[in-house]
Amino acid sequence: MSTRLALGAIGALAGLVALWSRGSLRGDRNTKGKVQWSTSPGVIWMHPLDFLAFTSTPSSSRAIDQGKVDEYEAAMKEGATFPALSLEGEAEDGRVFVVMHNGRHRALAAHHLGERLVPVEVFIEDLDTFKPVPVDSLLEGSGSERFFAAVTQPYDEDEIDEYGYAESRDLRVKVAP
């Protein structure tokens, strides 16, 4: 079995596992571009570079495993299905703080393939009630002018230097309807 086929099979299996674990194995696959994504209700769609802005600085290429990006890119070209990217965080005093992320390499691979949108699952917990905050309540605006705003995780200087994570900053990015 070729490496590309094996990666494609692994990517497809990961997508099925993600759907199964969420209890939404309905075959939800979205193709807003060329890449197949497994999604669940409540994802938001944003540009891959906007997703990366929540996680990395433009000068953080040293923290990206280019081999992994190349593997994902090849599997995406072959039609493998990938799980949505994710941002996790906390809400306090009306502000959202991103504290964890997953999907930098997939976002970069999708960007290399010309994808204009990637699905992002957003999991935010209210620190007062310890309950999840509905995604729709996190979005500003309406219709085609909707935005997601948050503060990036305040990483320490070692994490910023070693992994290329973003310094804490306020971000507001447009999301697709």
Partner residues linked to 81 by β-bridges: 36
The Cα 80–Cα 92 span in angstroms is 38
131-138 mean pLDDT? 87
Please count the other Cβ atoms lying within 10 Å of the Cβ belonging to residue 64: 16
Please tell me which residue, 16 or 149, carries the higher pLDDT value: 149
Please tell me which residue, 70 or 95, carries the higher pLDDT value: 70
Helices of type H across the chain: 3-21, 48-53, 66-77, 104-112, 135-138, 157-163
Structural domain count of the chain: 1
Specify the pLDDT at position 7: 41
Q: Calculate what percentage of the chain has a pLDDT beyond 90.
A: 31
Banded pLDDT at 120 (limits 50, 70, 90): very high
To 10 degrees, the CA torsion angle through 162, 76, 121, 14?
-90
Specify the pLDDT at position 100: 85
The Cα 87–Cα 99 span in angstroms is 8
Task: Supply the angle between the helices 66-77 and 3-21 in degrees, to the nearest 10.
Answer: 80
C-alpha separations of 74 from 8, 70, 167, 171 in Å: 8, 6, 31, 31
Would you call 132 helix, strand, or coil by DSSP?
strand
Specify the pLDDT at position 151: 79
Fill in the amino acid letter for 33. G
Residue identified by tokens 């999708």 is: 110
49-64 mean pLDDT? 73
Write out the residue range of the structural domain in which residue 150 sits: 3-175
Please count the other Cβ atoms lying within 10 Å of the Cβ belonging to residue 73: 20
Specify the pLDDT at position 15: 39
4-18 mean pLDDT? 39
The Cα 153–Cα 98 span in angstroms is 5
